[in-house]
Structure 1
Amino acid sequence: MKLTLTQQFQDYLKSLGADFSVLLEKAGLPNKTWQEDIVLTDLEYYRLLLTFDDVMTEEAICNLSRIEHIQLFIPAFFAALSAQNGLEAIERFAHYKHLVGPIDLDIVSSDKTVSVHYRYAISELALPKFAILNEQLLLLNLIRVGTGERITPLAVSSPFDYAESTLLEFGVSVQKSNSNAIVFDKVDLEKPFITQNNVMWQYLELQLNHQLELLNRDNSFSQHVQQTLFSALPSGHFQIEDVATNLGVSVRTLQRHLSAEQTTFQKQVQIVRKAMALSYLQLQLSSEEIADLLGYSEVNAFIRAFKQWTGRTVSAYRKEIAAKD
């Protein structure tokens, strides 16, 4: 995906204690902040989310979720605020969400409620606390700004504990759960938006549809390989021949495409294994379970690989997660 980083937005992040140059360095990504547009794969974006999770306090996340600030930098929020009500705004934002980041919204609607769940575009990767809290607050603030009212959700759930100040922001207690959700009363979402702007929407719709088309077209070959590996690794069928067959190409064609992108099949395997390992550790799976899911025949092989990837032992990383929680 293409991440647009105007100098204004970088300055805004810095005011919240998040220097984007430092974040990129911590995530092990090349520092290209001199460019306005930075192209990241879904896995690189996930590493960036984990880095945000490490450095940002809940107070900073709450400030980052202020829609009145964010809408200045991200047209997809303008599109949602231009809707006639919250129901249309949520549907519209879900449609264009990948222009903001590879996080999907699952919307479940009943006669009286609308529930929104968040998941990473690569379903095998668990969303960190930063991503879930930021997304929940962004949506809530979107509805509040649109209606001009301090709408309170019916329920909020998350795998993570939130600070008391964050609970006051939601206006409701947060249920600890393995999944995440924010639930609204449909009556609240049917209230007309004071920010409705049909003229703005007519201008934005063509532009956003064009951006979405480009995003879907520009996926690299290595991203397709990575996507296949996420399913192939737990099954044990992740040899290069297996992946090539799954993608409908020969082994030589697969290698040639990856070489053109200055990478190799083995590098892609390690990139996916590392991302999956970090995600599974967030879910508190045992080392034995993780080693099996990553296609290792021995747990010690996984432990050695993790040390090479991160410079830390598995046990040290677990302690860091526990301390943060």
Structure 2
Amino acid sequence: MKNEQHSVSIHFAITLIAAAERKGLDTRQLLHNAGLNEQLLKQPGLRITPEQLSRLTQEVWKAADDELICMGSRPSRQGVFALMAKHLVHCRKLRSVYHRFAQYYNLIADAFELNFSVDGELATLTLKLTDVDNDPDHTLREFLLLLLHRFPSWLIGQRITLERVTFDFPKPAHSEEHRLMFPGRVDYDQPICSFSFSKKLLDEPVVQTTSTLGGYLRTLPLEWFKRQAYYPVYTRRVLNYLEQASDLAQTGIEQVAEEAHMTSRNLRRKLSSEGTSFQELKDSVRRDAAIHYLSQPTLTIAQIARELGFSEPTAFTRAFKQWTGVSPSLYRQES
């Protein structure tokens, strides 16, 4: 395949459109501009590309002039994050980044409150919404924690490994997405939303500059929605191998195990301990690649089937329906 594609749950698009609808925005136009369709939102098990979710978020930002995607008690106008980012890029260390992050948003944003503290060996950032009724699907809380983790990680040029993430709502149906969004332990039904990491990271220097910041800001929010390397070690190794395989259909666990200098039996055991299997990972790579290819109108379904190693289009159609609940042709038509 020689590429890395992945997908995200359509749940986030559904909640974005629901919030936009509550604000009276033209949701059909928002979906059209993002390359999505109302029929897709009726399939909660479907997945979309990060690019589609990013475009939809951008459309909501512009239409509502609200970086809190219509889910805060009060809007935060477009440009607020960029203005803050231009200040944070001048911080010397991560410690200053989080202190200023909290100070800045607590000063200008009435919709939520941030608190940053260090206790023992852990640094903790907490998030509290002013009115949770405006965020009935919890998307704003997920979005803000994602932003508060990934932007500082980018500033210091390395992933901030999280020790614990807490949410103040019950475990949702899409909780599997949290394993991809946040590294570390995730607990639900907690008093507050937060994440904690080793205080040793607070002394990491900021390595980005005003020149690199411009390019970063132009990609947002896509950089926040792309898959990060937050998988357990052997799951990540297998995914890396599969995503770079020239012939995915013929790639078996024996080849991956040989590359990792272990037996296939040992690799199966390692993957099982991480809560997955080789076939599950292979199917997820093929599924995400299929979703990406179906968003390219120049590729026929027969070409996509061959690219993914299926002997015939009907075999690909059966597999895609098993993965997503709809046929490739219907998925393409509705997106």
TM-score by length of structure 1 reads: 0.42
Higher relative CO (CA 8 A, sep ≥ 6), structure 1 or 2? 2
TM-score by length of structure 2 reads: 0.41
